[in-house]
Homo-oligomer: A and B are copies of this chain.
Amino acid sequence: MVPTISDQTSDDVRDPDLVAVQEGPEAAGELTRPAGLDREKILQAAIDFIDEQGLAALTMRRLGSSLGVEAMALYRYVPGREDLLDGVVDRVVETLWDDRDGDDIQVVDHSGWQDYLVRLAHGMRRIALAHPAVFPLVASRPPAAPWVRPPLRSLRLVESFLGTLREGGFSDQAAVAAYRAYSSFLLGHLLLEVTQIGAQVSLLDQPEGDEQAQRETDMSEYPNLARTESLLGQDKSAAEFEESLENLLDRLERVLHEARNSGGDVGDL
Partner of A269, one of B3, B225, B240, B268: B240
Partner of A196, one of B147, B181, B188, B232: B147
Q: Report the separation of the CA atoms of residues A224 and B186 in the bound assembly, to the nearest whole angstrom.
A: 22
Q: Residue among A186, A189, A232 with the most chain B CB within 10 A?
A: A232
Partner of A162, one of B147, B179, B180, B228: B228
| Range, interface on chain A | 35 or more
Q: Tell yes or no: A27 within 8 A of B by CB.
A: no
Closest to A269 in B: B243
Q: Residue among A162, A188, A228, A269 with the most chain B CB within 10 A?
A: A188
Partner of A247, one of B150, B183, B251: B251
* Known contacts A142-B1, A162-B224; A240/B192 CB under 8 A: no
* Known contacts A140-B140, A162-B224, A251-B247; A240/B177 CB under 8 A: yes
Q: Report the separation of the CA atoms of residues A139 and B200 in the bound assembly, to the nearest whole angstrom.
A: 17
Chain A residues packing against B (C-beta within 8 Å): 1-3, 82, 136, 139-140, 142-143, 146-147, 149-150, 155-156, 158-159, 162-163, 166, 172-173, 175-177, 179-181, 183-189, 191-192, 195-196, 198-200, 202-203, 221-225, 227-229, 231-233, 236, 239-240, 243-244, 247, 251, 268-269
Given contacts A1-B142, A173-B231, A180-B236, 18 further A-B contacts (CB under 8 A): A2-B142, A3-B142, A142-B202, A146-B196, A147-B196, A149-B196, A150-B192, A159-B222, A159-B223, A163-B223, A175-B224, A176-B228, A176-B231, A177-B240, A180-B240, A187-B191, A188-B188, A243-B268
